[in-house]
Each structure stands twice: as structure tokens, then as C-alpha cells.
Structure 1
């Protein structure tokens, strides 16, 4: 990042922090309503989401050779998600689903999320073990 961009970013973040602190102070002094703080929170979340999406896209455009690794990573995640979805079951009877107020599809998505998390956690542990063992033989 260039020096100018770093300065601009630092100033922008300081302004956002100052506005947030001022709004919090005014809220606790009962000068502004809580609606204003909620809208400010919405703005910050949307701003964060937009920046989170745009910066990697800009980085991929500026460094197209490195974007292959990103697409491979996304592809691996999609494959793991498909595997997790195919392994997931509803696991509840219709009576239990009705009692919980959950549809069978939602229950399957919950199972998918759990299995996806288990797979990623297992891969993380295996990569840590592999890194430790490979250091011993170097």
C-alpha cells in the first residue's frame, strides 16, 4: 500500500471512530435516539461488507497470477460443501420437526453446516500435525 493510501485510510478510520464515539456519547447523554445508532450500525456493517467484497476483487485484477490460488481455494470449499451436503441427513422425525418448527430442508442445511465445520476442523488439525512432523525430518 502506498504512503498516500495508508494516510487516507488512517484518516478515514479515525473519522469513523470519532463519529462512532460522538454518537455513543450523545446516546448516553440522551441527546439522540437509539434509532440513529442502529442506522449507524447498519451503515458500518454495509460498508464493511462492501469493502470486504471489493478489495479482494481489486487485488485479483491487479495480480491475476495469484488469483488462480484463490479460485482453487474456492473450488475446494465448494467440493467440501457438496460432500457435506451429500452426507447430511435430516435425522429427525416429522413430529420432532413440527415440534421445533423447522422444515426438513432447514434441518438438512444445519447438518450440512455441522459436517462442513467438522471436515474443516479435521483438515486444520491434520495440517498442523503434518507441519509438525515435516519439521522433524528437515
Structure 2
């Protein structure tokens, strides 16, 4: 039996257990619902940990099974885009007084991080759209 089938069966079993717990919470009284919901949070944390561990395991397995040079070049290009985004984001181009007056913890560092994330999104979106257009044009002209 392959690992895929085992994981599929385990996911199905966890879904059934979650549905049973959800029904127990909905049909029980307030005290039972509170204790069960706390237990469900612990179960959710454990399942999240298992999923993250499996994702990391399969990513590392795929990384070393494939072309590692191409993967490292791609990761380096992504890191360069993130670095460029932080470099062009200033964090001082926004009036922060409305946020600080409302009690929100927004400073120049937070503004710079948000701006860098937006710039990174814009750069990656332009690259994705450009690569789709390039691939489509190449396919049309090569026929």
C-alpha cells in the first residue's frame, strides 16, 4: 500500500472524527461544548503540526530528487525580489497618526514591511503575467 493511500485513509479518518466532535459540540450543553471545543483546538494544533511536517518532508524529498541547481537559482531570484522590495519601500510615505490615535500599533517598520510585501506582490504579478504572455506568444508564433 502506497504512502498516498495511507495518507488518504488517515485524512478521511480525521474528517470523520472531526465531524463526530462537531456534532457532539452542537448537541451538547454549554459546559460540554466549552470543554470539547478546547479539546478540538488541541487536535487541530496536532493535525496542523503533522501537515506542516509532511509538507516539509515532501518538499525536501522533491528538492533532493530533482535539479537542485535550478531550485536554488529560483529561490535566489525570489530572495532578490524580496530584498529589492524592502530596498524600495520607505515606510515614511504614510501619515500614521490616524492609526496611532485609534490605539493600533503601527510604526514606520510595520509600514515598511507592508509596503515591501505590496511591492513584492506587484513585481511577482508582473513577472507571472509576462511569463504567461511570453509563453502564449511563443506558442502562437511557433505553429
TM-score, with length taken from structure 1: 0.84
Report the Cα offset of residue 96 of structure 1.
4.9
User: Aligned pair 1:134/2:138, yes or no?
Assistant: yes
- Structure 1 unaligned spans of 5+: none
**What's the counterpart of residue 9 of structure 2?**
11
Secondary structure of 2:71 counterpart: helix
What are the Cα deviations for residues 66-119 of structure 1, in whole angstroms up to 9, with x where unaligned? 222221211111000011001111112464563353111111000000000000
- Structure 2 unaligned spans of 5+: none
**What's the counterpart of residue 40 of structure 1?**
43
Greater CA deviation, 30-39 or 77-86?
30-39
Secondary structure of 2:38 counterpart: helix
Q: Matches of residues 1-138 of structure 1 in structure 2 within 5 Å?
A: 3-30=1-28, 31-32=32-33, 33-61=36-64, 63=65, 65-90=66-91, 91-93=93-95, 95-96=97-98, 98-99=100-101, 100-138=104-142
Matched residues, number: 134
